[in-house]
Amino acid sequence: MQIVFAASECAPFVKTGGLADVVGGLSQKILKLGHEVSVYLPLYAGVRQHLEGELNYVIRSITIPGPHSNRFAGIVDGGQRDGVKFYFVDCPEMFDRQGIYGNNGDSYGDNAERFGLFCRAVLEATKQLGVPDVFHVHDWQSALLPVLLRTVYNADPALKHSGSVLTIHNAAYQGTFPPSTVDELLLPWDIFTFDKLEHYNTFNFLKGGIVYADKVTTVSRRYAEEIQTPEFGNGLQGALSQRRADLVGILNGVDYAEWDPATDGNLAGHYTPHDLSGKRECRKDLLHAFGLDVSEDTPVIGICSRFASQKGFDLLEQIAGRLAERDVAVVALGTGEPYYEKFFRDFAYANAGRFSVQIRYDDALAHKVEAGSDIFLMPSRFEPCGLNQIYSLKYGTIPVVRATGGLDDTVEEWNPGLNSGTGFKFEAYEAQALLDTIDRALSAFYDKKQWSQLMQNGMAQDFSWDKPAREYVAVYEEAARKKA
CA 165 to CA 149: how far, in whole Å? 12
Distance of CA 302 to the CA centre of its chain: 20
CA 305 to CA 457: how far, in whole Å? 24
Q: How far apart are the first and last CA of the chain?
A: 13
CA 170 to CA 18: how far, in whole Å? 10
Q: Cβ contacts of residue 352 below 8 Å, gap of 6+?
A: none
β-partners of residue 74 are 90
CA-to-CA dists, residue 214 to 147, 222, 483, angstroms: 10, 21, 8
CA 261 to CA 362: how far, in whole Å? 18
β-partners of residue 333 are 304, 358
342 annotated as a binding-site residue:
no
CB–CB of 465/26 below 8 Å?
yes
Question: Position 219: which residue type?
Answer: V
User: Which of 322, 366, 372 has the alpha carbon at shortest distance from 347?
Assistant: 322
SS3 per-residue string spanning 309-369: HHHCHHHHHHHHHHHHCCCCEEEEECCECHHHHHHHHHHHHHCCCCEEEECCCCHHHHHHH
H or E element at residue 375:
strand 375-378
Distance of CA 16 to the CA centre of its chain: 9
**Which residues line the annotated binding site for ADP-alpha-D-glucose?**
15
**Which residues line the annotated binding site?**
15
